[in-house]
Amino acid sequence: MASLPETEVKTLTLTIDGQEVTVEPGTTVLEAAQSVGIDIPTLCHDPRLEPFGACRLCLVEVEGGRAPMPSCALKCGDGMVVHTRTERIMKLRKFVIELLLSYHPLDCPVCEAAGDCRLQDYAYEYGVAVSPWGWHPLEFDTRDDHPNIARDPNRCILCGRCVRICREVMGIGCWGFRSRGYDTIIDTAYNMPLEAVDCVSCGQCVSTCPVGALNMKRSRFGARNWQTEKTMTVCDYCAVGCEQEIQTFRGELVRVKAPTGEGVNAGNLCVKGRFGMEYVNSNERLIAPLVRGEDGLLAPTTWDDALARVAEGLKKAKAAKGVGVIASARCTNEENYLLQKLARTVLGTNNIDSGARYNQAAAVATVGKVLGYPAMTNSVADIVEAEVLLIAGSNTTEEHPVLALQLVKAAREGKELIVVDPRRTDIARRASIHLAVKPGSDAVLFAAMLKHIVDSGLHNKDFIAAHADGFEELVESVKAVTIEAAADACGVPAADIKSAAELYAKAAAASIFYSAGLTQQHNGAAAVTALADLAVVTGNIGRAGTGVNGLAGQANAQGACDMGCLPDYLPGYVALDDAEAVKTVEAVMGRVSDKIPGQIIGSMLQGIVDGQIKALYIVGENPAISEPGAAVVKEALEKAEFLVVQDIFLSETARYADVVLPACAITERDGTLTSTERRVQRVRKTMDCLEGAKADWEIVLAIANELGAGWTYTSPAEIMAEIALAVPTYAGISYERLEQGGIQWPCVDAEDDGTPILYTEGFPGGRASLAAIEVSDASVADIAAGNGFSLLLTTGIEREHFGTGTRSRRAAGLTGLVNEGRLEINPTDATALGVAPGDRIRVTSVSGSIEPVAVVTAGVPQGLVFMPQHYVEAPATALFPAQVDPVTAVPLLKAVAVKVEKA
């Protein structure tokens, strides 16, 4: 494949305080100094932001220059001679600090930032005890009503970092400078509450405040920065894989930070990553195994008793060939590997599936088939190289907020965003073209784009000839497609389809992002496959800023699939009918007795109803709420002869269990998670395991040994060593190496640094296999209503919550923001139905009925209503019949006909 030409990188050499420093052009003097350990004080600087040059602390002298210059904004020049600590500079810095201390309150004893405050540090370092101008404290009185973000403008030094991070990084702009001179204050427009000015409660402003003007309200007066123990780990909500610094005090989580520059998130976090981890402290955590007694109630028991019962129940079901296992896309690779090993080598079944079924598992039969690997092709870091970004079925700023920062940045820089989504989501508002397609018509749209690209001769003929098979068949499959008919079917202008196709095909680098909005949609597999086709046909693959980037939902959805928590694939995506490859895995893992693919989650539940499945072992998933077909799910969970649920809380599913096994939270155990960009990263034990609970891997191990497996693992590291043997793409990964940072698979040996971008050297099968685009007839029309069900309901994730809310609904930092299921409805529909904002309404489908609260917004088009999936009191999934995509077996949760009425 085309490799980048070797460009000559010219470097510059300058002298800073007598030290020679060689840097790349564009480097600032501040960065150059920091790179050789020369410390220059800064207040208004944050590497996440553009230089501002306001605080005047980072002044340096350049030989030959007249006035001191702010090093944060000063670019290095070749041969420059810089002095950072001359007498003049030190005097100027001291002067600045004295000015700040002329009004900054000296309330350090009660300030949350004490010990973590730049001004405090510098006042001490520069020996400023009192300001020579006396002390004239500010007396601002302003609102401080955000549940998580505490404000004290009297401590503010007006560095503007909060203002800039909200504008530059978040692309929002809640904060601004108000007034002038002594009256200047950082405020929202009109001093409105943050909720009223599009604040997404990410706390990025808090994270950048160098003093105590903005701080985390919920951890105030908890423990100061220096009192806490700090451990680097990875967030366990979505799959972006943000690094977190968990701070604990006396064994409890106090606050979460993200060190600047570290990891994929480079110091950024979203509302869940920053304020959503408190669930680990919840007093609802399970602290003893529970067994269902003769009175039908769950009662605490000992681990020995619980494990014996589990072993007995599973053994009995195994004899009847009726065991099913559901793994968690939130658990670690090690835990998932062990669990599927338990299923396959001890329980003798391939009935193993995971929460990745809800989205990520779709990659296997779609992009995996076309390209080779069922995974995101590129990395978060190279999104910046894309000129055109096609984002389909992904409400990215809410579902993958930190990855979305790259998309927001691209839009700010004038890159072209093409967003395909029936709703006018935040990212859609930032797009050059928003294709508000009718639900289920995405595949038709992509087929039309493909047709237009080929008809216009915009396809990359050389690339196709060199790297892809199946082009003729693909063209044949879209032969009958016309732009006009597609425009009609999709409900978008034909001109927009053409523009989108041309923009995408003509870009020097164009990348594609998709998520559950496609995979859970009717014709989802066809849509995702078509996206992979589009990338190959235009040669937008194998380079920075290109690719087909499926965004995984849960933190380890990618890993759960990699580890073989799939009914039809062993670890490393080894198909059960690939005898040779199966033998290789068996040599590491042990004999896989059954070579027939097992059942997905929905089929296992149906299997219980039908009597084939007797026992179900569920780890960390909550199908009682997450699965469509509520009636079947309920019947199955009630009818199961033996149900074991392992979780950190008594989830809605656990309430049906015969045995409940209490697990450790993610902060209490070691392991690895594989992020959406294939990055295998360490999660680390940050606190002792809650007494009475055990780590998931220890529980699986204990069950296996209770069943006579004789496993001897003593640590997750040891399990990873076995994974490296079983899964070729993980072969070079070890805990020792992961200490230096995450590694992106494929990582084939100990010398391999991993693979940020797939297919740079070609496709693993030699060539890409373009797939014909097949849109089933039973698609859009089928979803549309009957029975007076005149609206279509779609579901999704909202920013503040996750999954079925088991964790997020137990984090006060999130429930304080949103804690109620809300249905979004278009103003015209609302008026027609007599529904006012805030009304309790009843939403009914053929499958059930829920009663959320109405939010009236033009963000949803007429005819469509939207409801997040996180509310057990109003579970949106309960309105969907048990239906899966015929190709990927992903449950369809994006379009069902409903009626809405006032409750």
Partner 1 sequence: MVEETLDLAPLQDVLEEYKQQPGAIIPVLQKAQAIYGWLPPEVLDAVARGMHVPVSRVYGVATFYSQFYLERRGRHTFRQCDGTACHVRGAASIIEAVEKRLGIQAGETTPDYRVTFEVVYCLGSCGLAPVAMVDDQVVGHLVPSKALEILDNLE
Binding residues vs partner 1 (CB under 8 A): 163, 166-167, 172-180, 187-190, 197
Q: Which is nearer to partner 1, 205 or 445 (CB)?
A: 205
Complex with partner 1: residue 189 or 750, whichever CB lies closer? 189
Query: Radius of gyration of the chain from Cα atoms?
Result: 28
* CB nearer to partner 1: pick between 128 and 186: 186
Which one, 172 or 624, has the nearer CB to partner 1? 172
Q: Which is nearer to partner 1, 110 or 192 (CB)?
A: 192
Q: How far apart are CA 817 and CA 459, in angstroms?
A: 47
Q: Which residue, 163 or 431, is less far from partner 1 as judged by CB?
A: 163
In the complex with partner 1, the residue whose CB is nearer, 430 or 870, is: 430
Closer residue to partner 1 (CB): 192 or 778: 192
Q: Among residues 428 and 570, whose Cβ is nearest to partner 1?
A: 428
User: Please, are residues 572 and 726 in contact by the beta-carbon 8 Å criterion?
Assistant: yes
Nearest distance from residue 432's CB to partner 1, in Å?
A: 13
Q: How far is the CB of 101 from partner 1 (least distance, A)?
A: 25
**Pairing label, strands 791-796, 864-868:** parallel
Neighbours of 145 (CB within 10 A): 10
Order the strands of the 841-844 sheet from edge to edge: 849-850, 841-844, 896-902, 791-796, 864-868, 822-825, 853-856
Lookup: tokens for 141? 């009185």
The 352-354 sheet, strands edge to edge? 298-300, 290-292, 659-662, 642-647, 615-619, 323-327, 352-354
User: Among 880, 866, 877, 869, which Cα is nearest to 791's?
Assistant: 866
Taking each helix axis as running N to C, give the angle between helix 716-726 and helix 333-341, from 0 to 180 degrees, rounded to the nearest 10.
70
Beta bridge partners of 234: 243
> Hey, what are 163's tokens?
């203002």
DSSP code, position 331: S
Place of tokens 């600090």: 97
Distance of closest approach, residue 414 Cβ to partner 1, in angstroms = 11
Least distance in angstroms from the C-beta of 143 to partner 1: 15
Asked whether the bond before 716 is cis by omega within 30 degrees of 0, the reply is no
Are 239 and 556 in contact, with CB atoms under 8 Å apart?
A: yes
Beta carbon nearer to partner 1, 164 or 679: 164
Task: Find the shortest distance in angstroms from Cβ 775 to partner 1.
Answer: 38
- Least distance (Å) between residue 147 CB and partner 1: 21
> In the structure encoding, which two tokens stand for residue 652, read together?
């809605």
Using alpha carbons, select from 56, 24, 26 the residue that is nearest to residue 41: 56
Q: Are 163 and 398 in contact (CB under 8 A)?
A: no
Q: In this structure, what token pair is assigned to residue 770?
A: 């373009």
Q: Are 898 and 846 in contact (CB under 8 A)?
A: no
Q: How far is the CB of 385 from partner 1 (least distance, A)?
A: 24
CB of 271 to partner 1, least distance (A): 19
Q: Where are the beta strands (DSSP E) in 67-199?
A: 69-70, 81-83, 149-151, 176-178, 185-187
In residues, how long is the chain?
A: 903
The smaller minimum CB distance to partner 1, of residues 175 and 573, is found at: 175
Encoding tokens for residue 120?
């405090």
Residue number with CB closer to partner 1 (167 or 822) = 167
Minimum distance, C-beta of residue 504 to partner 1, in the bound complex (Å): 24
CA distance 617 to 630: 19
The phi, psi pair for 712, rounded to 5°, reads -125, 20
Partners of 868 in beta bridges: 796
Q: Of 178 and 498, which CB lies nearer to partner 1 in the complex structure?
A: 178
> How do beta strands 416-420 and 679-683 pair?
unpaired
Least separation in angstroms between CB 410 and partner 1: 15
Q: How far apart are CA 104 and CA 273, in angstroms?
A: 31
Q: How far is the CB of 173 from partner 1 (least distance, A)?
A: 2
Give me 754's structure tokens.
């991993």
CA angle 113, 190, 409 (to 5 degrees): 65
Q: Two tokens at 630?
A: 């509520």
The CB-of-171 to partner 1 minimum distance in angstroms stands at 9
Report the residue number, 172 or 896, with the smaller CB distance to partner 1: 172
Tokens 């992961």 correspond to: 738
Closer to partner 1 by Cβ: residue 10 or 180: 180
Complex with partner 1: residue 183 or 691, whichever CB lies closer: 183
CA proximity to 624, closest of 872, 844, 898: 872
- Phi/psi of residue 197, nearest 5 degrees: -120, 40
**How many other β-carbons are positioned within 10 Å of the β-carbon of residue 95?**
14
User: Measured from the CB of residue 167, what is the shortest distance to partner 1 in angstroms?
Assistant: 6
Phi, psi of 179 (to 5 degrees): 65, -155
CB of 166 to partner 1, least distance (A): 8
**Minimum CB distance to partner 1, residue 177 (Å):** 5
Spatial separation of the C-alpha atoms in residues 713 and 80, rounded to whole Å: 58
Nearer to partner 1, 44 or 731 (CB): 44
Minimum Å gap between C-beta 174 and partner 1 is 6
Closest CA to 327 of 612, 642, 77, 623: 623
Least Å distance, CB 400 to partner 1, is 23
